[in-house]
Amino acid sequence: MAAQIIDGKRIAGKIKERLIKEIEELKKQGITASLSAIQVGDDPGTGVYVRAQQRSCEKIGLDYKLHQFKKDVSQKELRDFIARLNEDTGVSGIILQMPLPSQLDGRILQGMIDPKKDAEGVSPANMGMVVYGKPLLAPCTAMAVMELINSVGVKLYGKEAVVVGHSDIVGKPTALLLLDKFVTTSVCHIATGERGTLPQYVSQAEILIVAVGKANLVKGEWVKEGAIVIDVGINRVEGKIVGDVEFEVAKERASHITPVPGGVGAVTTAMLLKNCVQAAKLQSK
Ligand code: NAP
Protein backbone atom coordinates (compact mmCIF):
# COMPACT_ATOMS: atom_id res chain seq x y z
CA MET A 1 0.00 0.00 0.00
CA ALA A 2 1.29 3.48 -0.83
CA ALA A 3 2.72 5.48 2.07
CA GLN A 4 0.94 8.30 3.77
CA ILE A 5 2.64 11.55 2.72
CA ILE A 6 3.76 13.59 5.74
CA ASP A 7 2.57 17.11 4.98
CA GLY A 8 5.34 19.42 6.20
CA LYS A 9 3.46 22.55 5.15
CA ARG A 10 0.44 21.61 7.26
CA ILE A 11 2.62 20.81 10.29
CA ALA A 12 4.54 24.08 9.84
CA GLY A 13 1.22 25.94 9.62
CA LYS A 14 0.09 24.52 12.97
CA ILE A 15 3.39 25.46 14.64
CA LYS A 16 3.10 29.00 13.29
CA GLU A 17 -0.49 29.32 14.57
CA ARG A 18 0.78 28.46 18.06
CA LEU A 19 3.66 30.94 17.70
CA ILE A 20 1.29 33.79 16.74
CA LYS A 21 -0.53 33.29 20.05
CA GLU A 22 2.74 33.08 22.01
CA ILE A 23 4.10 36.26 20.39
CA GLU A 24 0.88 38.11 21.27
CA GLU A 25 1.14 36.84 24.83
CA LEU A 26 4.76 38.01 25.08
CA LYS A 27 3.78 41.44 23.72
CA LYS A 28 1.23 41.78 26.52
CA GLN A 29 4.13 41.25 28.93
CA GLY A 30 6.18 43.95 27.14
CA ILE A 31 8.46 41.41 25.40
CA THR A 32 9.07 41.73 21.65
CA ALA A 33 10.33 38.58 19.94
CA SER A 34 12.63 39.41 17.03
CA LEU A 35 15.12 37.99 14.56
CA SER A 36 18.24 39.87 13.43
CA ALA A 37 19.78 38.36 10.30
CA ILE A 38 23.35 39.02 9.17
CA GLN A 39 23.95 38.67 5.44
CA VAL A 40 27.42 38.97 3.90
CA GLY A 41 27.79 39.69 0.17
CA ASP A 42 25.09 39.45 -2.49
CA ASP A 43 24.79 35.72 -3.21
CA PRO A 44 21.41 35.40 -5.03
CA GLY A 45 20.57 32.11 -3.26
CA THR A 46 21.04 33.73 0.15
CA GLY A 47 18.97 36.71 -1.04
CA VAL A 48 16.01 34.45 -1.89
CA TYR A 49 16.33 32.71 1.49
CA VAL A 50 16.54 36.00 3.40
CA ARG A 51 13.41 37.41 1.72
CA ALA A 52 11.48 34.20 2.48
CA GLN A 53 12.69 34.42 6.09
CA GLN A 54 11.51 38.02 6.35
CA ARG A 55 8.04 37.12 4.98
CA SER A 56 7.74 34.20 7.42
CA CYS A 57 8.62 36.45 10.37
CA GLU A 58 6.24 39.22 9.34
CA LYS A 59 3.35 36.75 8.89
CA ILE A 60 3.52 35.66 12.52
CA GLY A 61 4.28 39.09 14.03
CA LEU A 62 7.99 38.51 14.71
CA ASP A 63 10.15 41.64 14.23
CA TYR A 64 12.75 41.08 11.50
CA LYS A 65 15.88 43.12 10.90
CA LEU A 66 18.38 42.45 8.11
CA HIS A 67 22.00 43.65 8.52
CA GLN A 68 23.91 43.52 5.24
CA PHE A 69 27.70 43.58 4.93
CA LYS A 70 29.93 43.83 1.86
CA LYS A 71 31.62 40.57 0.84
CA ASP A 72 35.09 41.85 1.94
CA VAL A 73 34.00 42.45 5.57
CA SER A 74 36.61 41.23 8.06
CA GLN A 75 36.20 38.58 10.75
CA LYS A 76 36.84 41.26 13.41
CA GLU A 77 34.16 43.60 12.06
CA LEU A 78 31.59 40.81 12.17
CA ARG A 79 32.75 39.65 15.58
CA ASP A 80 32.30 43.19 16.94
CA PHE A 81 28.89 43.46 15.30
CA ILE A 82 27.71 40.16 16.80
CA ALA A 83 28.97 41.35 20.21
CA ARG A 84 26.79 44.48 19.82
CA LEU A 85 23.73 42.40 18.91
CA ASN A 86 24.42 40.17 21.93
CA GLU A 87 24.33 43.27 24.16
CA ASP A 88 21.24 44.77 22.55
CA THR A 89 18.21 43.92 24.73
CA GLY A 90 15.90 44.61 21.76
CA VAL A 91 17.35 41.63 19.86
CA SER A 92 16.07 38.18 20.80
CA GLY A 93 17.28 35.95 17.93
CA ILE A 94 20.38 36.21 15.72
CA ILE A 95 21.14 34.27 12.53
CA LEU A 96 24.32 34.42 10.48
CA GLN A 97 23.41 33.50 6.91
CA MET A 98 25.63 30.91 5.25
CA PRO A 99 27.63 30.47 3.06
CA LEU A 100 30.25 33.08 3.94
CA PRO A 101 33.21 34.32 1.85
CA SER A 102 36.48 32.45 2.41
CA GLN A 103 38.14 35.09 4.65
CA LEU A 104 35.48 34.42 7.31
CA ASP A 105 35.29 31.47 9.71
CA GLY A 106 31.56 30.82 10.05
CA ARG A 107 31.91 28.26 12.82
CA ILE A 108 33.85 30.71 15.03
CA LEU A 109 31.40 33.53 14.29
CA GLN A 110 28.40 31.32 15.09
CA GLY A 111 30.14 30.42 18.33
CA MET A 112 30.25 34.15 19.22
CA ILE A 113 26.45 34.42 19.21
CA ASP A 114 25.00 34.47 22.73
CA PRO A 115 23.60 30.90 23.18
CA LYS A 116 20.31 32.45 24.39
CA LYS A 117 20.03 34.37 21.08
CA ASP A 118 21.26 31.58 18.80
CA ALA A 119 18.20 31.24 16.52
CA GLU A 120 19.67 28.34 14.56
CA GLY A 121 20.79 26.46 17.67
CA VAL A 122 24.26 25.84 16.23
CA SER A 123 26.57 27.40 18.83
CA PRO A 124 28.80 24.97 20.78
CA ALA A 125 26.79 25.63 23.97
CA ASN A 126 23.50 24.73 22.31
CA MET A 127 25.00 21.66 20.63
CA GLY A 128 26.29 20.66 24.06
CA MET A 129 22.81 20.89 25.55
CA VAL A 130 21.61 18.49 22.83
CA VAL A 131 24.33 16.05 23.95
CA TYR A 132 23.11 16.42 27.54
CA GLY A 133 19.53 15.69 26.43
CA LYS A 134 18.37 19.13 27.56
CA PRO A 135 18.09 21.14 24.33
CA LEU A 136 17.38 24.85 24.81
CA LEU A 137 17.69 26.16 21.26
CA ALA A 138 18.48 23.07 19.15
CA PRO A 139 19.50 22.95 15.46
CA CYS A 140 16.36 23.75 13.44
CA THR A 141 16.54 20.92 10.89
CA ALA A 142 17.16 18.25 13.53
CA MET A 143 14.16 19.55 15.50
CA ALA A 144 12.10 19.59 12.30
CA VAL A 145 12.96 15.92 11.69
CA MET A 146 11.77 15.03 15.21
CA GLU A 147 8.56 17.04 14.72
CA LEU A 148 7.83 15.18 11.47
CA ILE A 149 8.49 11.79 13.05
CA ASN A 150 6.31 12.67 16.05
CA SER A 151 3.50 13.75 13.71
CA VAL A 152 3.11 10.09 12.70
CA GLY A 153 2.15 9.27 16.30
CA VAL A 154 4.18 6.07 16.74
CA LYS A 155 5.88 5.11 19.99
CA LEU A 156 9.61 5.79 19.52
CA TYR A 157 10.92 3.80 22.49
CA GLY A 158 12.98 0.83 21.25
CA LYS A 159 12.60 1.58 17.53
CA GLU A 160 15.55 1.13 15.13
CA ALA A 161 16.58 4.25 13.21
CA VAL A 162 19.23 4.94 10.61
CA VAL A 163 20.51 8.44 9.91
CA VAL A 164 22.36 8.78 6.61
CA GLY A 165 24.73 11.77 6.76
CA HIS A 166 26.72 12.92 9.80
CA SER A 167 26.98 16.69 9.32
CA ASP A 168 27.34 18.80 12.46
CA ILE A 169 24.08 20.68 11.99
CA VAL A 170 21.79 17.93 10.63
CA GLY A 171 22.93 14.30 10.91
CA LYS A 172 24.72 14.35 14.28
CA PRO A 173 22.15 16.37 16.27
CA THR A 174 19.29 14.36 14.72
CA ALA A 175 20.97 11.13 15.87
CA LEU A 176 21.38 12.58 19.39
CA LEU A 177 17.73 13.68 19.59
CA LEU A 178 16.67 10.16 18.54
CA LEU A 179 18.95 8.54 21.12
CA ASP A 180 17.37 10.73 23.74
CA LYS A 181 14.03 9.07 22.93
CA PHE A 182 15.59 5.59 23.38
CA VAL A 183 15.65 4.94 19.64
CA THR A 184 18.49 2.57 18.68
CA THR A 185 20.28 4.75 16.16
CA SER A 186 22.91 3.96 13.51
CA VAL A 187 24.65 6.78 11.67
CA CYS A 188 25.95 6.22 8.12
CA HIS A 189 28.36 8.44 6.23
CA ILE A 190 30.66 8.51 3.25
CA ALA A 191 32.68 5.52 4.50
CA THR A 192 29.49 3.44 4.76
CA GLY A 193 28.79 4.37 1.15
CA GLU A 194 32.33 3.46 0.11
CA ARG A 195 32.19 0.11 1.92
CA GLY A 196 28.97 -0.68 0.06
CA THR A 197 26.94 -1.45 3.19
CA LEU A 198 24.51 1.47 2.95
CA PRO A 199 21.70 -0.74 1.52
CA GLN A 200 22.04 -3.15 4.47
CA TYR A 201 21.75 -0.36 7.04
CA VAL A 202 18.87 1.36 5.23
CA SER A 203 16.93 -1.93 4.93
CA GLN A 204 17.02 -2.35 8.75
CA ALA A 205 15.57 1.10 9.48
CA GLU A 206 12.11 1.40 10.95
CA ILE A 207 12.79 5.13 10.90
CA LEU A 208 15.03 6.36 8.09
CA ILE A 209 16.46 9.88 7.93
CA VAL A 210 18.53 10.83 4.89
CA ALA A 211 20.53 14.08 4.95
CA VAL A 212 23.27 13.90 2.33
CA GLY A 213 22.56 16.13 -0.68
CA LYS A 214 22.79 13.50 -3.45
CA ALA A 215 19.68 12.95 -5.57
CA ASN A 216 18.28 9.41 -5.39
CA LEU A 217 21.22 8.15 -3.29
CA VAL A 218 18.84 5.89 -1.35
CA LYS A 219 17.08 3.50 -3.68
CA GLY A 220 13.41 2.87 -3.02
CA GLU A 221 13.90 -0.91 -2.97
CA TRP A 222 16.28 -0.60 0.03
CA VAL A 223 13.51 0.89 2.19
CA LYS A 224 12.06 -1.47 4.81
CA GLU A 225 8.36 -2.25 4.41
CA GLY A 226 6.40 0.04 6.74
CA ALA A 227 9.32 2.40 7.49
CA ILE A 228 8.93 6.09 8.31
CA VAL A 229 11.11 7.98 5.80
CA ILE A 230 12.27 11.53 6.39
CA ASP A 231 14.11 12.96 3.39
CA VAL A 232 16.14 16.05 4.31
CA GLY A 233 18.09 16.33 1.03
CA ILE A 234 17.56 19.19 -1.38
CA ASN A 235 18.88 18.67 -4.90
CA ARG A 236 18.18 20.41 -8.18
CA VAL A 237 17.77 17.93 -11.04
CA GLU A 238 16.73 19.13 -14.50
CA GLY A 239 15.17 22.26 -13.01
CA LYS A 240 13.22 20.33 -10.35
CA ILE A 241 13.88 20.06 -6.60
CA VAL A 242 14.22 16.46 -5.42
CA GLY A 243 15.39 14.75 -2.23
CA ASP A 244 17.99 12.06 -1.54
CA VAL A 245 15.49 9.18 -1.57
CA GLU A 246 14.04 7.62 -4.72
CA PHE A 247 10.57 8.84 -3.81
CA GLU A 248 8.28 7.04 -6.27
CA VAL A 249 9.60 3.57 -5.36
CA ALA A 250 10.14 4.31 -1.65
CA LYS A 251 6.56 5.48 -1.17
CA GLU A 252 5.28 2.04 -2.23
CA ARG A 253 7.22 0.44 0.65
CA ALA A 254 7.19 3.05 3.44
CA SER A 255 4.27 3.63 5.80
CA HIS A 256 4.95 7.39 5.93
CA ILE A 257 7.27 9.56 3.84
CA THR A 258 8.10 13.25 3.51
CA PRO A 259 7.95 14.82 0.05
CA VAL A 260 10.63 17.16 -1.31
CA PRO A 261 9.68 19.97 -1.49
CA GLY A 262 6.92 20.31 1.11
CA GLY A 263 8.44 18.18 3.86
CA VAL A 264 11.42 18.98 6.08
CA GLY A 265 12.12 22.45 4.60
CA ALA A 266 8.80 23.98 5.63
CA VAL A 267 9.11 22.68 9.20
CA THR A 268 12.76 23.80 9.47
CA THR A 269 11.64 27.40 8.83
CA ALA A 270 8.93 27.03 11.47
CA MET A 271 11.58 25.76 13.92
CA LEU A 272 13.73 28.84 13.30
CA LEU A 273 10.74 31.00 14.23
CA LYS A 274 10.04 28.80 17.26
CA ASN A 275 13.65 29.22 18.43
CA CYS A 276 13.29 33.03 18.18
CA VAL A 277 10.22 32.96 20.39
CA GLN A 278 11.94 30.57 22.80
CA ALA A 279 14.98 32.89 22.78
CA ALA A 280 12.78 35.87 23.75
CA LYS A 281 11.39 33.82 26.65
CA LEU A 282 14.86 32.71 27.80
CA GLN A 283 16.08 36.31 27.90
CA SER A 284 13.07 37.51 29.86
CA LYS A 285 13.88 35.09 32.73
P1 NAP B 1 26.72 18.18 4.45
O2 NAP B 1 27.29 18.99 5.52
O3 NAP B 1 27.30 18.22 3.07
O4 NAP B 1 26.69 16.66 4.94
C5 NAP B 1 26.39 15.60 4.07
C6 NAP B 1 26.68 14.31 4.77
O7 NAP B 1 26.44 13.22 3.89
C8 NAP B 1 28.12 14.19 5.24
O9 NAP B 1 28.08 13.67 6.54
C10 NAP B 1 28.73 13.18 4.27
O11 NAP B 1 29.74 12.40 4.84
C12 NAP B 1 27.54 12.30 3.96
N13 NAP B 1 27.68 11.58 2.69
C14 NAP B 1 28.16 12.03 1.53
N15 NAP B 1 28.10 11.07 0.59
C16 NAP B 1 27.58 9.97 1.18
C17 NAP B 1 27.28 8.67 0.73
N18 NAP B 1 27.51 8.29 -0.51
N19 NAP B 1 26.74 7.80 1.61
C20 NAP B 1 26.50 8.16 2.88
N21 NAP B 1 26.76 9.41 3.37
C22 NAP B 1 27.30 10.29 2.51
O23 NAP B 1 25.18 18.52 4.24
P24 NAP B 1 24.03 18.95 5.29
O25 NAP B 1 24.16 20.36 5.65
O26 NAP B 1 23.92 17.93 6.37
O27 NAP B 1 22.78 18.81 4.33
C28 NAP B 1 22.43 17.57 3.73
C29 NAP B 1 21.32 17.79 2.71
O30 NAP B 1 20.19 18.30 3.40
C31 NAP B 1 21.65 18.82 1.63
O32 NAP B 1 20.97 18.46 0.45
C33 NAP B 1 21.04 20.10 2.17
O34 NAP B 1 20.68 21.01 1.14
C35 NAP B 1 19.81 19.55 2.83
N36 NAP B 1 19.31 20.38 3.94
C37 NAP B 1 17.97 20.60 3.95
C38 NAP B 1 17.40 21.34 4.96
C39 NAP B 1 15.94 21.54 4.97
O40 NAP B 1 15.45 22.37 5.72
N41 NAP B 1 15.17 20.79 4.17
C42 NAP B 1 18.21 21.88 5.97
C43 NAP B 1 19.58 21.61 5.96
C44 NAP B 1 20.11 20.84 4.92
P45 NAP B 1 31.27 12.96 4.91
O46 NAP B 1 31.22 14.26 5.66
O47 NAP B 1 31.96 11.90 5.65
O48 NAP B 1 31.69 13.15 3.49
162 located within any domain: yes
Verify that 222 and 165 share a domain, yes or no. yes
126 located within any domain: no
For ligand 1, pick from 95, 110, 212 the residue to mutate: most ligand atoms within 8 Å of CB: 212
130 located within any domain: no
Verify that 144 and 261 share a domain, yes or no. yes
Cα Rg of the chain (Å, integer): 19
What's the pLDDT at 44? 86
What's the pLDDT at 265? 95
Verify that 151 and 255 share a domain, yes or no. yes
For ligand 1, pick from 190, 201, 210, 264 the residue to mutate: most ligand atoms within 8 Å of CB: 190
Helices then strands, counting H and E runs in the chain, come out as 11, 11
Task: Please count the residues of the chain.
Answer: 285
d(CA 121, CA 172): 13
Global confidence as pTM: 0.96
Our count of domains for the chain comes to: 2
Helix (H) or strand (E) holding 241: strand 240-242
Verify that 254 and 144 share a domain, yes or no. yes
d(CA 208, CA 105): 32
State the CATH number of the domain containing residue 68. 3.40.50.10860
What's the pLDDT at 43? 87
Handedness of CA 69, 50, 22, 156 (dihedral sign): negative
State the CATH number of the domain containing residue 221. 3.40.50.720
Least Cα distance to 198 among 226, 172, 217 occurs for 217
3 located within any domain: no
281 located within any domain: no
21 located within any domain: no
pLDDT (tens digit per residue) in 60-69: 999 999 999 9
Verify that 258 and 216 share a domain, yes or no. yes
Q: Please report, to the nearest 10 degrees, the dihedral formed by the alpha carbons of residues 272, 169, 218, 154 taken in order.
A: -60
What's the pLDDT at 82? 98
CA of 190 to the centre of ligand 1 (A): 10
Verify that 85 and 200 share a domain, yes or no. no
> What stretches of the chain show up as alpha helix (H) in DSSP?
8-28, 44-60, 75-87, 106-112, 124-131, 140-152, 171-180, 190-195, 198-204, 247-250, 264-284
What's the pLDDT at 159? 98
Verify that 100 and 177 share a domain, yes or no. no
Quote the domain boundaries for residue 36: 30-120
* Tens place of pLDDT per residue across the chain (285 aa): 799 999 999 999 999 999 999 999 999 999 999 999 999 999 888 889 999 999 999 999 999 999 999 999 999 999 999 999 999 999 999 999 999 999 999 999 999 999 999 999 999 999 999 999 999 999 999 999 999 999 999 999 999 999 999 999 999 999 999 999 999 999 999 999 999 999 999 999 999 999 999 999 999 999 999 999 999 999 999 999 999 999 999 999 999 999 999 999 999 999 999 999 999 999 987
What's the pLDDT at 115? 97
234 located within any domain: yes
150 located within any domain: yes
- In this structure, the residue with its CA closest to atom 45 of ligand 1 is 190
- In this structure, the residue with its CA closest to atom 12 of ligand 1 is 165
- Residue 165: Cβ within 10 Å count: 23
